[in-house]
Amino acid sequence: MTRLVIHAGTHATDARAICGQLASWRGRLDTLGVRLHPDDPEAWADDIRALADDEAPPALVETAHRALRDGKTMLLLSSEGLEDSLREPADIASLGAFGRAVGMGVTVLCVLRDQLGYLNELYCDRVIRLQTAKSFASFAAAPDPARRFDYGKAFDVVLGGDELGFVAVPYDQMQDGTQGRTLLEAAGVPSTATASLPAGSTREPLPGPVLVAACRLLFKRAWRLGMFNRLPRGRLLDAVATLRRRSDEQAWDDAPFWGWSEPLRQVAIARYQPGNDVLASALWGRSWGESWESGRYVDLDLAASSSALVVDVLLTIDGLIKDLKAEKTEKAALTAENAGA
Amino acid sequence: MRRVVVFMGGPRDATAAVQRTLPGLVETLAEVGVVVPESGRVDSPGGGFSHQPLEAGPIVGWAALRSELDSAPGDSALLVIPGLVRIGSAATHRLAMLAELSALADDVSLVSVVGDQLTLLNDLYLQQVASWRMSKRLAGAVSRLLTNVLLDHETSLRPWYADNRARYAAVPMSGFMAENPVAAVLHAAGVDVPAGLPPATAAAPLRLGPIGVEANRLLSTYLRAEVADFRPDDPGIAAASRVALTRADRLDWCGNTFWGFTRRAAEKVLARYEVSNHRFARAVWGTDWTLPYPLERACTQVDFLDLDVKVIDQVHRFVLAMAEKVSHDLQVTP
């Protein structure tokens, strides 16, 4: 019997590193009876999204049939983008329908991280992608989408139905470089089999507080000048890449960003602990516990930072803004010229 | 001369109000026998004048002042020497001042204005930020600002009110500005002045608002890297900081809107002064300290990165433009 196991994140739980590791173990996993999506990880998300949308890609259907024919114990798919589908009955039904269509029982596998680490990483990710310029406190006070973070209810749909099995792994049980092994073990692959899998991709380091601050400033200045509407997003992200390089060269930061001041942390724990306990009890028969992530909180006050740093940050961003402005002007001129022609 | 009244200073607004109001009242006061001497006058940067050079001690100007008062009509004289509040603990200087003042008249009355320490600290912080001496947030600056002995009225003023060579009167800051400030000083000293003098109309000194504070904090930090041997006391730097303040005002970043204390921080500061304020009030007014503390005022200190997109753009450009100007001016000015 071949099972379909879908690793659905959650977000900020090293999904990219996990996918990289799984792909690098493809041959070995096959000998262990675990079949992966046939393409590279970059292509996985769209196909798996299509499954949830009830539009199974032919290549995936074919892969499932082959896994069955080849007597594999598991077809393992992975996309953190599927996390939000776990709250959508229609998506759950589509995944179940696909399993039935190819003759496989479906199990969803999630990595669960406490909300402190989750929100901290999510915030960094959104700032670096120029999706937000809010302060961390403001972001964490009303995270979006809110339902992701209330673990007391977030998994009600998938846990309450009988379409899919659900297995969850605590994030703090995973070692960087071998997260994929822990995941496979949670999916039922014996640890004696996974032990031989070499360490692989590691998680991307978080940006530091100064780089986060610089990205927020870049976002706000670019927004003010209307660049989000008039330049390709990729061009703005190139500017972030320049900031990142500058940050590395000039050693702007000596620690990763951690936005939880102690008072904020206490408020968050009080908010999330009850729901986490409900989920942990349902999944693991115990309370969530007290092992919340921690980090070194830096109350970055750019104006009171070192003078050299302030000069470097302000001039670098001003230079980037001038470049972007020049491109915007050039683009507008070209558009006008084309319209005239 | 029977009596000399000395305004010895107080919070920034009170001093500025006395200095600015005085020029328009000299003739009115003369008509009721109160002389405002010419000797020792110096123009104040914020408008009006004071008799500030006398603060330097017994050497400068006293003989001329004695001579002027000897021949002046009138019963009383009013001197404005705001620096006096600062020299209470400098015994030699203080005693020399008292000796000179006693030689001017039979009766010497010293008058200062006192306010609550939270407002004083908030103002002190704003002055330091505007003069580029401070780039921390108020919360981070408080411990340094608290070393200012003037915040403790009992410690800084007791040497004056405990000395029976002069009478001392304290005017509470609350209500002071509603009255004509010069009349309030004279009233406190027991001098009759005509009723109906207009209240202070002179504009208060420019104060940075929350955005102005952020812009100047950032600018002063920036300048420390850009200007060799950056010293806020340097006349060129001081002049540049005044230009920056004017520009901040043009950008609408000034006004009496900055308040850097959270309620908790304010209570912590007050705990330090409550007892000495009561002792001061009992010694001077014969009652407990009843002046209000602005504990309910909401903190308005903002963070540069939390500013609105339009404002953050303005602040960033303001900092770079001012830094360029200051660097340029200092290079071309010997």
Residue A257 to residues A126, A213, A216, A294, B290, Cα–Cα distance (Å): 13, 10, 13, 11, 47
In the prediction, which pLDDT does A326 show?
93
- State phi, psi for A301 to the nearest 5 degrees: -115, 95
A322 lies within 8 A of chain B by CB: no
Residues in chain A within 8 Å Cβ distance of B312: 217, 220-221, 224
In the prediction, which pLDDT does A341 show?
65
Helix (H) / strand (E) containing B150: none
Measure A134 CA to nearest chain B CA, in Å. Answer: 7
First to last CA, chain B: 48
Residues in chain B within 8 Å Cβ distance of A302: 218, 304-305
- Looking at the DSSP assignment, which residues form a beta bridge with residue A170? A112
- Spell out the alpha helix ranges (H) of chain A: 15-24, 26-31, 44-52, 58-69, 89-102, 115-128, 136-141, 151-154, 156-160, 179-186, 191-194, 209-224, 227-230, 233-249, 262-284, 307-340
Residue A73 to residues A41, A51, A181, A329, B211, Cα–Cα distance (Å): 21, 20, 16, 58, 63
Q: What is the crossing angle of helices A44-52 and A89-102, to 10°?
A: 100
Interval A287-303 mean pLDDT:
93
A311 lies within 8 A of chain B by CB: yes
Nearest-5° angle of CA A147, CA A152, CA A153?
A: 45
* pLDDT > 70 in chain A, percent: 100
In the prediction, which pLDDT does B57 show?
53
Residues in chain A within 8 Å Cβ distance of B306: 135, 138
Q: Which residue in A135, A220, A311 is closest to B222 by CB distance?
A: A311
| Cα(B268)–Cα(B146) distance, integer angstroms | 12
In the prediction, which pLDDT does A143 show?
95
Q: What is the mean pLDDT of chain A?
A: 94
Question: Strand pairing of A105-112 and B34-35?
Answer: unpaired
What length does chain A have? 341
Q: Do B304 and A310 touch (CB under 8 A)?
A: no
Q: Which of A110-114, A130-134, A158-162, A280-284 shows the lowest per-residue confidence on average (mean pLDDT)? A: A158-162
Can you read off the two tokens belonging to residue B36?
A: 């405002």
User: Best of B213, B221, B312, B327 to disrupt the A interface by mutation (most A CBs within 10 Å)?
Assistant: B221
- Report the sign of the C-alpha dihedral through residues B274, B279, B285, B287, in that order: positive
The string of DSSP codes covering A112-123 is E--HHHHHHHHH
| Cα(B44)–Cα(B319) distance, integer angstroms | 29
Q: Is B116 helix (H, G, I), strand (E, B) or coil?
A: coil
Interval A123-133 mean pLDDT:
97
In the prediction, which pLDDT does B74 show?
85
Cα A301 from chain centre: 28
A302 lies within 8 A of chain B by CB: yes
- Does this model's pTM top 0.90? My answer is no
Reported for B42-46, long-range contacts at CB under 8 A and 24+ positions apart, including other chains, are: B44/B16, B44/B19, B44/B20, B46/B16, B46/B19, B46/B20, B46/B205
For residue A134, pLDDT over 90 is answered with: yes
A307 lies within 8 A of chain B by CB: yes
pLDDT tens per residue across span A81-91:
899 999 999 99
In the prediction, which pLDDT does B200 show?
62
- 3-state SS of B278-310 is HHHHHHHHCCCCCCCCCCCCCCCCCCHHHCCHH
- Report the sign of the C-alpha dihedral through residues A127, A131, A137, A142, in that order: negative
- Looking at the DSSP assignment, which residues form a beta bridge with residue B114? B172
Can you read off the two tokens belonging to residue B216?
A: 């100047």
Measure A13 CA to nearest chain B CA, in Å. Answer: 28
Give the A window 203-232 contacts with B, CB below 8 Å: 213, 216-217, 220-221, 223-225
Q: Provide ipTM, 2 decimals.
A: 0.87
Closest residue in B to A310 (Cα–Cα): B222
pLDDT tens per residue across span A34-47:
999 999 999 899 99
Taking residue B308's Cβ as centre, other Cβ atoms within 10 Å add up to 12
CA dihedral A241, A245, A246, A251 (to 10 degrees): 130
Instruction: Read off the pLDDT band of A1 (50, 70, 90).
Output: confident
In the prediction, which pLDDT does B193 show?
84
In the prediction, which pLDDT does A340 show?
75
Residues in chain A within 8 Å Cβ distance of B222: 307, 310-311, 314
Measure A129 CA to nearest chain B CA, in Å. Answer: 17
Measure A307 CA to nearest chain B CA, in Å. Answer: 5
Interval A140-147 mean pLDDT:
93
Per-residue model confidence as pLDDT tens for chain B (334 residues): 789 999 998 888 888 889 988 998 898 899 889 999 998 888 887 788 888 766 555 545 788 888 999 998 889 999 999 888 888 888 888 888 898 899 999 899 999 999 999 999 999 999 999 999 999 999 999 999 999 989 999 999 999 999 889 999 999 998 787 788 999 999 999 998 877 777 666 667 889 999 999 999 999 999 999 998 899 999 999 999 999 999 999 999 999 999 999 999 999 999 999 999 999 999 999 999 999 999 999 999 999 999 999 999 999 999 999 999 999 888 765 4
| Cα(A74)–Cα(B168) distance, integer angstroms | 92
In the prediction, which pLDDT does A44 show?
93
